[in-house]
Amino acid sequence: MLARRSRRNKPLKIAISPRMFHPEPGAKGDRSKPIMYLVDAVAHWIMSRDVMVFMLPMVAHGALVSRGNLKLSDYVDHFDGLVLQGGADVSPVSYSEEALKPEWAGDKIRDDFERELVMEFVEAGKPVLGICRGAQLINVAFGGTLYQDVALQHPQAIRHVDTETYDRHHHPIRIEPGSRLARLYPGVDSANVSSIHHQAVRTLARDIVVEAWSVPDQLPEALRVQGAGYVFGVQWHPEFHRPGDEDLLDSAPILEDFLEAARKRA
């Protein structure tokens, strides 16, 4: 009989916050119900390192599982790290603005859930990794703001999203010398990344530093929170970078750095 794994050798357990589908008026069937879901590319990217992945269901006032029954800190106790996946816009209301267009209203319900979730993991000293919207949410959670629409509010910017090519739309970034990200990629000053976003970081939160910039428009592409353990976000989608693709930045060092931070807290 094989010996049971020791506690030290057990796989890491990484929590992923859900994307949300909110039903529209008049919808029928499944589309008439709130739906929480996980994009498989994110799960598979993290699982590629023999890590267990769990999507966290929403715990909110008015839900079937309410805050009176279960607290977010109860979740945090059982996981080694948190990943914030991409998805709907961050609501401008979350950084004290009004939406310039109705379609940019974002998902305030998800914002509130994820902001509290981030702070619970930070308080527990466990690492947080944000992807695309997740990086934006981190900036907002710590007091920063966003461009509601890059093309409208930063007309000198390059194209950061293409609905036709989607995850095949790429652009270059410049890695900040001396940053932790630069140490993960020795000798790499610039690289191409997968870009799928029309919003972007506008005003940095006070405790955040930029570790990579888009080229040539100088929009923040990688953010790290100072003095709060491991809290890091990338504006691009590393889960869409295929291993061995020399045209795109290798996503493995980012994942391994995050998981190493999680192992130190496990």
Closest Cα partner for 248 from 197, 178, 199, 185? 185
Q: How far apart are CA 27 and CA 32, in angstroms?
A: 5
**CA 240, CA 237: separation in Å to the nearest integer?**
6
Give the Cβ contact number of residue 107 at 10 Å: 20
Catalytic residue at 237? Answer: yes
**Catalytic residue (choose from 120, 132, 170, 211):** 132
**DSSP-H helix ranges across the chain:** 40-47, 72-76, 108-123, 133-141, 150-153, 180-184, 252-265
Instruction: Considering the candidates 160, 170, 171, 237, report the single residue annotated as catalytic.
Output: 237
Question: Is 241 labeled as catalytic in the residue annotation?
Answer: no
b/e code 217-255 from CB counts within 10 Å (16+ = b): bebbbbbbbeebebbbbbbbbbbbbeeeeeebbbbebbb
The neighbouring-strand residues paired with 233 are 130, 223
> 2: which 2 tokens?
């094989």
Q: What DSSP state is assigned to residue 188?
A: -
Under a CB-based contact definition with an 8 Å cutoff, are residues 83 and 46 in contact?
yes
The one catalytic residue among 114, 176, 221, 239: 239
Hey, what amino acid is at 174?
R
3-class DSSP state of 178: coil
Give the three-class secondary structure for 150.
helix
Catalytic residue flag (residue 239): yes
Q: Name the token pair of 131.
A: 């992807």
Tokens of 47: 């699982």
Active site residues: 132, 237, 239
